[in-house]
Structures are given as structure tokens and as C-alpha cells.
Structure 1
């Protein structure tokens, strides 16, 4: 059975419940929650998606995440996906949302933040490779490797959100 998501409007208000497959096929707005993970040294967790996945197989990705379920918060979805895909639980902090038009279909994308231990246990059905990259290494990889369509925009917006004054960047450190 396909997962159910909330179809939303251009203001991120719920219109109803639909299958994710229908949302993607019809180009209906829905919600995705992701988390950018860093370690105590400030390195970023990057992974390569498994080859058999239906969405962007074999692509590298900066953020871990997926569809927000019915009644679920962005942060809840990001934390759930982090646990499922990387085998680690962590507190996630919402950084920002934006209307993302890259990828398979348009969607509201919430980008969260999490500080992780270096040791993660990725699910091999989801993740083919993972590693910790410094900011310069990540910038280089974004130019050399095949990443998901929104990875560069997520990274640029993430860096801008971290540089914003504390009143603008919510409660995230």
C-alpha cells in the first residue's frame, strides 16, 4: 500500500489526504521533512542512496528524510526517517521550510538540523554508502558527484540559515 500524505496548498495549509504516489503523479503539493546531520567536529553526513530505490537510485544526498505522514510534524517525519535510514535517534530542530520545485514533483520541504554521534548504522536497503565530509569536501563533492536535485539548494539555504541572527533562525543552535 502506498503511504498517505496530506495534500497542501501554496501556503502549506492542508487540503486533504492523498496517496504519495498520486501526489507525485499529479504534481500536488505535499510535505517532505529532512534533516541535515552534523557531528561534533562540524562535518556533514552524506550518503549515497541504494541502487534499487525508485527515487534517485545511486544519487548522493546531503539530507536524510522523506514524506510527512498524515498528522505528523515536519520534525517528527525527519526524526523518524533518520532512525529508519541511519539507525540513530536524535533531537531534530526545524531550520526553515520552502516550496521546492526540484525533484519528481513540487513539495514543501522542511529542513531540520541534528547533531549526531559519528557512529551511525545505516539500513543497507536504503543507504549504499555514507561518510562524514567537511564543508570544503562537501562543496567539492557537490560539483563532482551526482546528488539529488535539491541537495545544492538545501546546502546553500542551510548555510544561510546558520549565518542568520538567532531571532531569524528559530531556536536552533
Structure 2
């Protein structure tokens, strides 16, 4: 079960994840930008080919759907621990929305700084590694880079708001 949201990011109830996906219902996600301790690199990973949404694509953030009864802060810490095996202090940055033909959600965007070590969740992460922020700026504008569309949008917003 996951939290169900309205268009204004208010929790309105709970719903099974399968129903949320089938009906493209509003939900919430915690999204974490993972930077190196020196802030010069971002952790990028490739999703497994078995993921239900955007399988096999790259992502510049860790994160996922907010479970029923969970706060965004709790979801962010859980997702960072589950996906990358990291426990690191999180800083909330901003809240935004993402909508396309397959999904629509409210994103609570966080940032953390750590050099790892990382332990990937094998069901979700096929590969991960560091990317220089300069390379990220170049690649994020390349439509040929196999990056998840929501991650592209949210990372662009993160770059605009925090890096300049």
C-alpha cells in the first residue's frame, strides 16, 4: 500500500501500488541526489531491466514511492538505505511535481553527500558509478542519453536551483 495524494500534494488515503500504476493516480516519491563529499560528482545508476517503470535506463537520483503512513523524510532515508545501502544525513531541498502519460507524482527532493561505500539492491540497481557535474550538465541535455524522463526533469530543476 502507498499514500494516495491529491493534486495539491495532500495525502487523501492509501491505495495498492498496482492500482496506482494501472490508473495513473497521484502519488508521492522521495528523490535523493547523492553527491560525493567534495560535491564535485553525482552518483548515477542504471536501473535493472526488470523494473516496472523505465527499466534499464540511467537515473541521477535514488528514491521511490512513499509507502502508506510514511512521511517523505522517512521514505527518503528508507530508499537511500534500500537502493544504495547508504545511511547518510539528508537535506530537504524542494518539492515539485512530475507528470507524463505513464505517471504523475509529487516529488520531495533531498540531497546527501557521501563517498559510500555503496551496496546496490540487486532487484533495482544494475550498475552505479560517479559522474562529474560538468559531464552531467552536458549529458542531461542529450536526448540520446538513456536517462529516465522524470530523473532528467528533476535533475535539471536541481541543477537550476542549487548549482546555478
TM-score by length of 1: 0.86
1:49 aligns with 2:47: yes
Query: Does structure 1 conserve the Cα–Cα contact (< 8 Å) formed by 2:35 and 2:43?
Result: yes
Query: Does structure 2 conserve the Cα–Cα contact (< 8 Å) formed by 1:34 and 1:64?
Result: yes
Aligned-pair RMSD on alpha carbons? 1.7
Separation in 1, partners of 2:118, 2:89: 15
Number of aligned positions between the proteins: 161
Distance 1:163 1:131, change over 3 A: closer
Shift of 1:80: 0.6
Q: Which runs of 5 or more residues in structure 2 are unaligned?
A: none
Answer with 44-53 or 139-148: which moved more.
139-148
Q: Could you say what secondary structure the match of 1:117 adopts? A: coil
Aligned residue in 1 for 2:107: 109
Provide, for residues 80-111 of structure 1, a one-character-per-residue CA deviation record: whole Å limited to 9, x for no partner: 11111111111212111112103731111111
Aligned residue in 2 for 1:171: none
Q: Which runs of 5 or more residues in structure 1 are unaligned?
A: 165-173
Shift of 1:163: 5.1
Q: Could you say what secondary structure the match of 2:14 adopts? A: strand
Structure 1 runs, 4 residues or longer, greater than 3 Å off: none
TM-score by length of 2: 0.90
1:17 aligns with 2:9: no
Q: Could you say what secondary structure the match of 2:110 adopts? A: strand
Alignment of 1:1-173 (within 5 A): 4-42=1-39, 43-102=41-100, 104-142=102-140, 143=142, 144-162=144-162
